[in-house]
A and B are shown apart, each in its own frame.
Chain A
Amino acid sequence: MSATSKVPLKDGMEGFVSDWASDQRAFKGVPWGKAMMWIFLLSDTFIFSIFLISYMTARWSTVEPWPNTSEVFALTVNGVSVPLLLIAIMTFILITSSGTMAMAVRSGYQKKRKQAAALLYLTAILGLSFVGMQAFEWSKLIEEGIRPWENPFGARQFGSIFFMVTGFHGFHVSVGVIFLFITARKVLRGDYDTGRRGFFTWQKGRYEIIETMGLYWHFVDLVWVFIFAFFYLW
């Protein structure tokens, strides 16, 4: 550890600054991969914020009525139209997968190889089912005639935004699923115990990778909560 951190920190702002500015590491005990993921997520936040802001400007400026989401996204079960049924299930699944992800991180740090791998596979499968349901939702809407450039239920921006935002989020989930499967396989094979090197990076991985993966996954989950609130519920 750094020499400065042995000295008790001063109170208030001064201590805060000298802690951050101490030599060697600003984030003490944090591997660079995790720090990098946090900063990446900061920039990704900007991308999604811009999409949501663009959505809000479009919604405010359009002269046509905005479609009623609880009707557009309703599913008919036994002859009863249940609003937002599919979306509710999707949200539930994604949030559940965040839980299994968190459990996987814990198992990883406990070096419980098989348990961590199993939880990662479970998370990946939940994510995959989310993408599957999204595909179903897309095809249902496309069948009903909603396109990026037109919308029989009202404002055409509805279609544009829907495909743009959920598509970009779905892309994030898909990328996450792929990396979850890769990480799960590596954990199961014991790469992080034996120090086997990555195929492309030629670097040794560590169990901390699961936590870094987890940060991304929770972020994607959090973004979905915002999309759910602003696009589906509003």
Chain B
Amino acid sequence: MSAAVNNNVENHDDHHHHKETFITKWVFSQDHKMIAKQYFVTGVLVMGVIGVLMSLLFRIQLAWPEESFSVFEIFLGDRWAPDGVMDPNIYLALVTIHGTIMVFFVLTAGLSGTFSNLLIPLQIGARDMASGFLNMIAYWLFFISSVIMVASLFVEAGPAAAGWTIYPPLSALPQTQPGSGAGMTLWLVSMAFFIASSLLGSLNYIVTVLNLRTKGMTMFRLPLTIWAFFVTAIIGVISFPVLLSAALLLIMDRSFGTSFFLSDIFVQGEVLHYQGGSPVLFEHLFWFLGHPEVYIVLLPALGITSEIIATNSRKPIFGYRAMVASILAIAFLSTIVWGHHMFVTGMNPFLGSVFTFTTLLIAIPSAVKAFNYIATLWKGNLQLNPAMLFSIGLVSTFITGGLTGIILGDSALDINVHDTYFVVAHFHLVMGISALYGLFAGVYHWFPKLYGRMMNKTLGYVHFWITAIGAYGIFFPMHFIGMAGLPRRYYTNTAFPYFDDLADINVLITVFALITGLAQLIFLYNFIHSMYFGKKAEKNPWKSNTMEWTAPVEHIHGNWPGKIPEVYRWAYDYSKPGKKEDFVPQTTPIAKGEKITEH
């Protein structure tokens, strides 16, 4: 093999030639660690705050429908909250943009963007991503996409309001509602940029994991975080293009008069000229992305959890190969189950039963993961730091939310609770809260790697307990109001006397939501304060085995001074019999006569 393809060495050399200026260091940085921080600030700190704030606004409306609040006037203005009463159109828009921002911007770009970028090169022993340039472009496309999405909030007729799933014909026809006008166009443009960004990012992650590992780092010695990021990127590469196609066809329908998703239709007494298209086609295309998207959101969080639970139980992860296999199985199954979102579209019941079967199959690899986490925790020497608490919290919500998934995956049961708060409760617990817990756990765990300082532990505990109780307080009662039949996405339920009994529960949920939402300010404060005034971190604060903790605390170009360390063992040699310390980093050579425990 010629030296020409030795990516690591070449990449490193290439970086030494140009001097770092303010612009190349802080703005158009090609360094994966800086890009990770950029993703975090844009995706989580900015977009996350917007997304959560929106949910609080519409929760207030749901608890006290059509009452006047000055907070509405402050955030929505006279246009959308005359006399402090929320306009129904902006309610729909808030729900839509909340979903879009949380799913795509916070939990896809914010979560994967931050941790894949930070950890992939550091944990596999690479100087940087395969292409720092493409990585930078990916971030800036995401930035443009975020700017457009935020800008869409300010258009005259309001932002997109057809739900985050933007089903046509509602989203395709500007006549149907104000939110299907310019706001919808901007939504689609923003998502097109987002998909391009996600694609470039994923290409980099995949190629880096496949081809830039250090000596001794075989695929089966990769920490589970990397496996999760790697497989997430693969799902992204095959499912996001489908949404791009669907978005392009929808743009054609909206702006060029085609009829891909539209058929004969009357809107407000007016006959439109569309004919022959199929709105169900859009649902197929959307959910071909939409379901894998759940795992794009969830898998990185599960990977982070695997790493943190093993480190903080001071035990090898239980069933490493089973964990890898379950990630791969989930990835494969996720692409053949999209129909379970469409049981009530009038699809052939036989097809419905096929999708029920494939959906229920996902319970197997999911259960493998849940049991392996519990088995890893079992009799461990538990270090209950905030990262560990959030990881255990994830296992809890993953199980609670996963169980209702079995109900929703079964077409016969799903039809009864379709589009009720039961569904809202299910996906918020299993993907929203679980992935957020993974995100928080990751931040608490890798903050020393990001900023070289420690976060405040006490504030971390306060943040965890309020969030943990609050999250169940919000979403657990939703199961019951959902089973009682309360439909999702309704501006108010006062028109139906049947739902009057549920009004108090809605108030309870909103109170929990407000408390939990405000508790996130503790996290924000902790994050920003620790960034500047936190305790200086040591090199390996959690006594972890993975490679990122062998790199210097101060970030340098190329990650390691001198040669990249070699890897001799898997990442989970914790509490190994016969060793003085209870951890053996991957870079420690196998001692003479040492039993190899990796599997």
The reply to whether B210 and A25 form a contact with Cβ atoms under 8 Å apart is yes
Taking CB atoms, residues of chain B closer than 8 Å to A148 are 252, 256-258
A57 CB-CB contact with B under 8 Å: yes
| A234 interface hit (Cβ, 8 Å) | no
Using Cβ atoms and an 8 Å threshold, which residues of chain B touch A201?
131, 133
Q: Which residues from A are CB-within-8-Å of B17?
A: 197, 202
Chain A residues positioned under 8 Å from B131 (CB to CB): 32-33, 36, 201
The answer to whether A50 touches B258 (Cβ under 8 A) is: no
A149: contacting residue among B10, B204, B258, B278, CB under 8 A: B258
Please determine whether A149 and B242 come into contact, CB atoms closer than 8 angstroms.
no
Most buried by B among A24, A28, A62, A157: A24
Chain B's closest residue to A26 (CB) is B210
Instruction: Look across to chain A and name the residue whose beta carbon is closest to the beta carbon of B212.
Output: A32
Residue from A1, A4, A36, A54 in contact with B260 in the complex, judged by beta carbons closer than 8 Å: A54
Residues of A within 8 A of B220 (CB): 21
The minimal Cβ–Cβ distance linking B439 to chain A, given in whole angstroms, is 26
When the two chains form their complex, are residues A36 and B258 in contact, meaning their CB atoms are under 8 A apart? no
| Complex interface residues of chain B between 210 and 226 (CB less than 8 A to chain A) | 210-221
In residues 5-64 of chain B, which contact A (Cβ within 8 Å)? Answer: 5, 7, 10, 14, 17-18
Chain A 50-74 interface residues, beta-carbon cutoff 8 Å to B: 50-51, 54, 57-58, 61-64
Provide the A1-35 mask, 1 if CB < 8 A to any CB of B, else 0: 11110000000000000001111111111111101
Interface size for B (C-beta < 8 A) is 55
B237 at the interface (CB under 8 A from A): yes
Chain B 197-217 interface mask (CB, 8 Å, partner A; 1/0) = 001000110111011111111
Give the chain B neighbours of A39 by CB distance below 8 A: 203, 206-207, 237
Q: Inside 8 A of B18's CB, which chain A residues have their CB?
A: 202
A70 to B1: give the CA distance in the assembly, Å: 53
CA–CA, A54 and B248, complex, Å: 12
Which of B269-277, B513-521, B570-578 is the interface stretch? B269-277
| Chain B residues, CB < 8 A from A51 | 245, 249
In the bound complex, residues from chain B placing their C-beta under 8 Å from that of A43 are: 199, 237-238, 240-241
Q: Knowing A20-B219, A155-B276, A203-B133 touch, does A36 contact B242 (C-beta < 8 A)?
A: no
Are B5 and A31 interface neighbours, CB within 8 A? yes
A197: B residues at CB distance < 8 A: 17
Instruction: Determine if B567 is an interface residue (Cβ-Cβ < 8 Å).
Output: yes
| Inter-subunit contact B276/A202 (CB<8 Å) | no
Q: Does A112 make an interface contact (CB < 8 A)?
A: no
A23 pairs with B241, CB closer than 8 A: no
* CB pair B281 A24 closer than 8 Å: no
**Which residues A161-187 have CB closer than 8 A to chain B?**
164, 168
A3 touches B215 (CB 8 A): yes
Q: Does B246 contact A (CB under 8 A)?
A: yes
Residue of B4, B220, B259, B278 ringed by the most chain A CB atoms within 10 A? B259
CA distance A16 to B35 in the complex (A): 35
- From B134, which residue of chain A is reached at the shortest CB distance? A36
Contact A21-B252, Cβ < 8 Å, known A58-B260, A148-B257, A201-B133: no
What's the nearest-Cβ distance from chain B to residue A161, in Å?
8
B203 and A47 form a contact (CB under 8 A): no
Q: Please measure, in the bound complex, the distance between the C-alpha atom of A31 and the C-alpha atom of B207, giving whole angstroms.
A: 10
B285 contacts partner chain A, Cβ-Cβ < 8 Å: yes
- CB–CB B257/A149 < 8 A: yes
B203 to chain A: which residues have CB within 8 Å? 36, 39-40
B213 & A23 in contact (Cβ 8 Å cutoff) = yes
B244 at interface, CB cutoff 8 A:
yes
Residues 190-234 of A at the B interface (beta carbon under 8 Å): 197, 200-204, 206, 208
CB distance from B236 to the nearest CB of A (A): 9
Contact of B211 among A21, A26, A40, A64 (CB under 8 A): A26
Kindly state the separation between the CA atoms of A43 and B242 in the bound complex, as whole angstroms: 9
Known: A160-B259, A160-B260. A35 touches B211 (CB 8 A): yes
Which residues of A lie under 8 Å from residue B212 when comparing CB positions?
24-25, 32
Contacts of A47 in B (CB 8 A): 241-242, 244-245
A63: contacting residue among B133, B218, B259, B276, CB under 8 A: B276
Partner of B133, one of A57, A157, A200: A200
Name the distance in Å between A209's Cβ and chain B's nearest Cβ.
12
Q: Complex formed: what's the CA distance from A206 to B2 in Å?
A: 13
| Distance to closest chain A CB from B90 (angstroms) | 32
Are the C-beta atoms of A24 and B214 separated by less than 8 Å? Answer: yes
Nearest chain A residue, comparing its CB with the CB of B211: A25
Q: Does A82 touch B at the CB level, under 8 Å? A: no
- Measured CA separation A13–B256 after assembly (Å): 51
- Report Cα–Cα, A91/B204, bound state, in Å: 34
From B213, B242, B257, B567, A46 is in contact (CB under 8 Å) with B242
Q: Once the chains bind, are B7 and A31 in contact (CB under 8 Å)?
A: yes
Interface residues of B in 164-217 (CB under 8 A from A): 199, 203-204, 206-208, 210-217
> For residue B216, which residues in chain A have a CB less than 8 angstroms away from its CB?
3, 23
Known: A43-B238, A57-B281, A203-B133. A30 touches B213 (CB 8 A): no
Let me know if A89 is at the binding interface, CB within 8 A: no
Chain B residues whose C-beta falls within 8 Å of the C-beta of A33 in the assembled complex: 131
Q: Which residues of A contact B239 (CB under 8 A)?
A: 46
With A148-B258, A164-B252, A202-B14 in contact, is A21–B133 under 8 Å at CB?
no
CB of B102 within 8 Å of the partner chain:
no
Contact B238 A57, beta carbon cutoff 8 Å: no
Q: Is B450 an interface residue (CB 8 A)?
A: no
The 8 Å CB contact of B5, one of A30, A54, A57, is: A30
Of B210, B214, B249, B256, most A-chain CB atoms within 10 Å: B210
In the complex, the answer to whether A50 meets B285 with C-beta atoms within 8 Å is yes
Contacts of A25 in B (CB 8 A): 5, 210-213
- Nearest to A1 among chain B residues (CB) is B1
* Cα distance, A94 to B276, chains bound together (Å): 33
Closest CB in chain B relative to A59 CB, distance in Å: 10
| Given the contacts A148-B256, A149-B273, A164-B258, A23 and B567 also touching, CB distance less than 8 Å | yes
Q: How far is B285's CA from A150's CA once the two chains are assembled, in angstroms?
A: 24
Closest residue on chain B to residue A155 by CB atoms? B276
- Decide if B249 touches A29 in the complex (CB within 8 Å): no
Chain A residues near B210 (CB, 8 Å)?
Answer: 25-27, 35
* Residue A44 CB within 8 A of the other chain: yes
B130 in contact (CB, < 8 A)? yes
Which residue of chain B is the closest to A59 with respect to CB atoms?
B276
**Which B residues touch A62, using CB under 8 A?**
276
Query: Quick check: B259 and A156 within 8 Å, CB to CB?
Result: yes
Is A42 an interface residue, CB under 8 A from the partner? Answer: yes
Residues of A within 8 Å of B256, CB to CB, are: 148-149, 160
Most buried by B among A32, A36, A62: A32
User: In B515-573, which residues have CB < 8 Å from any A CB?
Assistant: 567
Taking CB as reference atom, which chain A residue is nearest B133?
A201
Q: Across the interface, do A27 and B133 meet the contact criterion of CB distance under 8 Å?
A: no
Residues on A with C-beta less than 8 A from B260 are 54, 58, 157, 160
- Residues A2 and B259 in contact, CB atoms below 8 Å apart: no
- Once the chains bind, are A157 and B237 in contact (CB under 8 Å)? no
Q: Which residues of the other chain, A, contact B206 by a CB distance below 8 angstroms?
A: 36, 39
Give 6 A-B contacts (CB < 8 Å), ordered by A residue.
A24-B211, A24-B215, A32-B208, A54-B285, A148-B258, A197-B17
Q: When A and B form their complex, which 9 residue pairs have the shortest distance between CB atoms, in order from nearest?
A: A149-B257, A21-B219, A160-B258, A50-B245, A32-B130, A46-B241, A26-B210, A62-B276, A201-B133
Instruction: List 13 other contacts, CB 8 Å, given A30-B211, A160-B256, A206-B4.
Output: A1-B1, A24-B215, A26-B210, A32-B211, A36-B134, A36-B207, A39-B203, A39-B237, A57-B281, A61-B276, A159-B258, A160-B258, A168-B248
